[in-house]
Amino acid sequence: MSATDPSEVVILAAADMPEKEPRAASPRRRARPEGLVRSLLRNRKAFAGLIILAGFILLALLAPVIAPGDPSIITGQGAQAPSAEHLFGTTPKGQDVLALTLWGSRSSLLVGFVVGLAATAVALLAGLTSAFFGRAIDNGLSLITNVFLLLPGLPLLVILAAFLPPGLGTVMLVLTITGWAGGARVLRSQALSIRGTDFVAAAIVTGEKSLRIMFREILPNMASIVMITLLGVVIFAIGAQAGLEFLGLGDPSVVSWGTNLYWASNDGALMSGFWWAFVPSGAAIAFVAFALALINYGVDEVSNPRLRSARRRPFGTGTEVAR
């Protein structure tokens, strides 16, 4: 398992919520989203993750300022080690690696977040619908979800990307199709659990319309799990996009972290020992993924206090006595 597949990341977070009958959750009033954000900021892990992520987003936005011009034009001699002129060195072709890495962040982050939002939206829709519109629809949707979860991700990605016209749109579409199922299962479980609570039952009995109940009663209480799902899918999307591009199925003309690695491999940078050509882009992916994972664990710890690091006594020593 790695943090580059949405179902995996959501499994980590939802290991506490196995696929079983929805627990009777204690009745809660509409949860306040501001409370969640504030406790997140206080959580060390989440805070660190947010800082790192913000840093990358900033660099992505400022890329045209820091490294103006087209990053793929040749600006120096091929395969130069890092120097004052080229801080990250040059590729075998002679392009500036720093510029490529900075500009690459724009495409990678954009695809990551677009796919994240799209796939989470689909998953949320599927989960809510499943929980709310009766057994038959639930069974049907669950079947579809489970099939998508079962089919191996990368081969499916490859086969879809190979047959559709190459381009960023295809990549985004294909990643969304393979990325929604993991979140759908978890969101359905949570939605069912909330649906079983008393205050939702009250809403149904007083005749509130289904859609209204879905969006005003159930959804706000799912804030933290939706966020975990979203971040998980973003991690998946960034990694999977890189994987696709590495295989040559992306759009090689676009500058992104994945295509940088593709060219590094293709141009023999690896075998010739020009490490500066492939380290930055890969490290960037790793750091962004790690930042997102940190935020995820923070959200999980905030909403599931049992997982917070506790001063645990060794097992079997009995209750602590402090007289």
Partner 1 sequence: MTGITDAAPRNVLVVSDLSVEYRGEKRTTRAVDRVSFTIGPGEAFGLAGESGCGKSTAANAIMRLLRDPAVITGGSILFDGRDVLAMSPDELRSFRWREVAMVFQSAMNSLNPVMTIGDQIMDIFTTHEGMTKKQARVRAAELLDLVQIDAGRLKAYPHQLSGGMRQRVVIAMAVALHPTLLIMDEPTTALDVVVQQEIMAQIGDLQQELGFSILFITHDMSLMIELCDRMAVMYSGRFVETAEAKGLFANPRHPYTRALINAFPPMHGPVAELTGLGEGVRFTNIPDLVEVSPGHLAALDSAGTHDILGGRS
Partner 2 sequence: MQFVLRRLGFYLVAFWVSVTLNFLLPRFMPGDPISRMMSQSQGRMTPEQVVQMQALFGLDDRPILQQYIGYWQSIFTGEMGVSISRFPSPVSEVIASQIGWTILLGATALLIAVVIGNLLGILAAWRRGGALDSILPPFLVFIGSFPYFWLAMGALYLFGVILGWFPLRHAFSAGATPSFSPEFIGDVAMHLVMPVTTIVLVSIGGWMLAMRNTMITTTSEDYVVMAEAKGLTANRIMLRYAARNATLPAVTNFGMAIGFVVGGALLTEVVFAYPGLGFQLLSAVTALDYPLMQGIFLTITGAVLVANFIVDIVYVRLDPRVRVS
Q: Which stretches of the chain bind partner 2, using CB under 8 A?
A: 1-5, 7-8, 11-12, 15-16, 18-19, 143, 146-147, 149-156, 158-160, 162-165, 235, 239, 242-243, 246-249, 261, 264-265, 270-271, 273, 275, 278-279, 281-282, 285-287, 289-290, 293, 297, 306-307, 309-312, 314-316
20 near partner 1, judged by CB under 8 A: no
320 binds, among partner 2, partner 1, none (CB under 5 to 8 A by kind): partner 1
DSSP type of residue 319: S
Positions 276 through 315 that interact with partner 1 (CB under 8 A):
308, 310-313
270 binds, among partner 1, partner 2, none (CB under 5 to 8 A by kind): partner 2
**For residues 212 and 206, what is the distance between their CA atoms, to the nearest angstrom?**
12
CB of 245 to partner 2, least distance (A): 11
Label residue 76 left, alpha or beta by phi (over 0 means left) and psi (-120 to 50 means alpha). beta
CB of 173 to partner 2, least distance (A): 13
319 binds, among partner 1, partner 2, none (CB under 5 to 8 A by kind): partner 1
- Torsion angle in degrees (nearest 10) through CA of 280, 286, 288, 294: -150
Closest-CA residue to 194 (of 29, 16, 6)? 29
CB of 107 to partner 2, least distance (A): 15
153 binds, among partner 1, partner 2, none (CB under 5 to 8 A by kind): partner 2
308 binds, among partner 2, partner 1, none (CB under 5 to 8 A by kind): partner 1
The tokens for 307 are 């997982």
Q: Which of 50, 218 has the CB closer to partner 2? A: 50
Residue with token string 């969304």: 176
The tokens for 306 are 């049992």
**How many residues make contact with partner 1 (CB under 8 A)?**
13
Three-class secondary structure of residue 210 per DSSP: helix
CB of 223 to partner 1, least distance (A): 21
**For residues 193 and 189, what is the distance between their CA atoms, to the nearest angstrom?**
6
CB 209, CB 152: distance < 8 Å: no
Q: Which of 205, 322 has the CB closer to partner 1? A: 322
Q: Which of 253, 309 has the CB closer to partner 1? A: 309
**For residues 77 and 85, what is the distance between their CA atoms, to the nearest angstrom?**
11
Q: Which of 84, 310 has the CB closer to partner 2? A: 310
Q: Which of 136, 322 has the CB closer to partner 1? A: 322
CB 280, CB 25: distance < 8 Å: no
CB of 29 to partner 2, least distance (A): 26
Residue with token string 């992306």: 250
Q: Which of 36, 121 has the CB closer to partner 1? A: 36
**For residues 68 and 45, what is the distance between their CA atoms, to the nearest angstrom?**
34
Three-class secondary structure of residue 248 per DSSP: coil
Q: Which of 47, 275 has the CB closer to partner 2? A: 275
126 binds, among partner 1, partner 2, none (CB under 5 to 8 A by kind): none
Q: Which of 87, 162 has the CB closer to partner 2? A: 162
Question: Which residues contact residue 65 at a Cβ distance below 8 angstroms, ignoring those fewer than 6 apart?
Answer: none
- Residue 96's φ and ψ, nearest 5 degrees, are -75, 120
**For residues 226 and 82, what is the distance between their CA atoms, to the nearest angstrom?**
42
Positions 210 through 239 that interact with partner 1 (CB under 8 A):
none
Closest-CA residue to 262 (of 123, 92, 147)? 92
Contact positions toward partner 1, by CB under 8 A? 308, 310-313, 316-323
